[in-house]
Amino acid sequence: MDAGALRAGQPVVEPTARFVLRTERDATSWSKGKLRESLVGIVVENEAGRCQISDLKQVEGEASCSSRKGKLIFFYEWNIRLGWKGIIKESGAKHKGLIEIPNLSEENEVDDTEVNVSKKKGDGDVLKDLMKTAGTAKVREALGDYLKALKTEFTVGMILPTRATATQELTVKRKLSENTLQVPLGVRIPTVALHMTELFDTGVERLYSIFTVKELVQKFSKSPAILEAEKGGKFQMFDGNVTGEYIDLLANEKIVMKWRCRNWPEEHYATVVLNFVPTPGQTELQLDCKGVPVCKEENMKFCWQKQHFEEIKGLLQLTTLSG
């Protein structure tokens, strides 16, 4: 500090300090939800039987991501315990077991991650073998999906753009400007529309109820849900990762919803329309969704294909077999 300047009452300018911009985020809570989404509900099947991961019994550990000098550094270490159940097709016998993943960390490749499968006492080794082969492969694939999401979805906005990348982003935004949505906060973001169809081996009444009855929503989502299935009613699913409001309901024919995922821009909602079309012995579900943020398109497709369509089919099949 300049003592002469201080005595003269002049402003003192301190030397400019050098610093490194570093951002760090705790990914532990987010990771637990993503691991549940990725692992619970996995189904494997062959001519002998069908198995499904039914619940996440334990997930211990932590995860974080830090940005330093424009680079992302990841840390994760997990001990995971899953429950599975299966049915032998010929006899109809049901069995349960466990899957343990003792060390999912950045020290090991996903394909080398240890996955231990066990079964409760009794017959049913054919199901255990199915889980040790096809089941283990699917578990490792799901772990890979979690890590991919950790390194892409979770890290959005962590690296501040350089002058070059800012110019590139501006160019992309201009190209997408024709497909934008004005959200309540006045922020214009690029959006896309999705259309998906899926056939279900059940009648329209049963399929409609799976989307509007709290107990059934909780069964296929394998998590607590809040559901007010009436016009203007609110809903919340997948541990709060999906929230929204019912705009309109036409029993056994159509559901219209305001829909948002937790990691979307604040106050931004898409519009989801479900049409239930009866066909001989089946129901065709037609999904139309407008206003999905461009960067969340693949995530939205995964949400509906894996966490809705496939889980509902599994629920319907288990209900048929147990009935």
* Within-domain flag for 211: yes
* Within-domain flag for 140: yes
* Within-domain flag for 170: no
Task: Please give the Cα distance from 291 to 287 (Å, whole number).
Answer: 13
Q: Are residues 69 and 126 in the same domain?
A: yes
* Within-domain flag for 124: yes
Q: Are residues 196 and 318 in the same domain?
A: yes
| CATH number of the domain residue 232 falls in | 3.30.530.20
Segments in the chain forming alpha helices (H):
3-7, 28-39, 125-130, 136-151, 163-175, 204-212, 214-221, 297-302, 311-322
Please report, in tens digits, the pLDDT of each residue of the chain (323 residues total): 444 444 444 444 444 444 344 467 788 888 998 999 999 999 999 999 999 999 999 999 999 888 766 678 888 999 999 999 999 999 999 999 999 999 999 888 888 899 999 998 877 899 999 999 999 999 999 999 999 888 887 776 554 444 444 444 444 444 444 343 444 444 567 888 999 999 999 999 999 999 999 999 999 988 889 999 999 999 999 888 899 999 999 999 999 999 999 888 888 999 999 999 999 989 999 999 999 988 888 889 988 999 999 999 988 887 665 55
pLDDT at 240: 86
Q: Are residues 114 and 206 in the same domain?
A: no
Q: Are residues 142 and 193 in the same domain?
A: no
The number of domains in the chain is 2
Residue numbers of the domain that contains 70? 22-151
Q: Are residues 234 and 312 in the same domain?
A: yes
The structure tokens listed for 170 are 């501006």
* Within-domain flag for 95: yes
292 strand-pairing partners: 192
* Within-domain flag for 158: no
pLDDT at 297: 87
Q: Are residues 142 and 183 in the same domain?
A: no
pLDDT at 184: 47
Find out whether 81 and 98 touch, Cβ atoms under 8 Å: yes
Q: Are residues 49 and 145 in the same domain?
A: yes
* Within-domain flag for 290: yes
| CATH number of the domain residue 142 falls in | 3.15.10.20
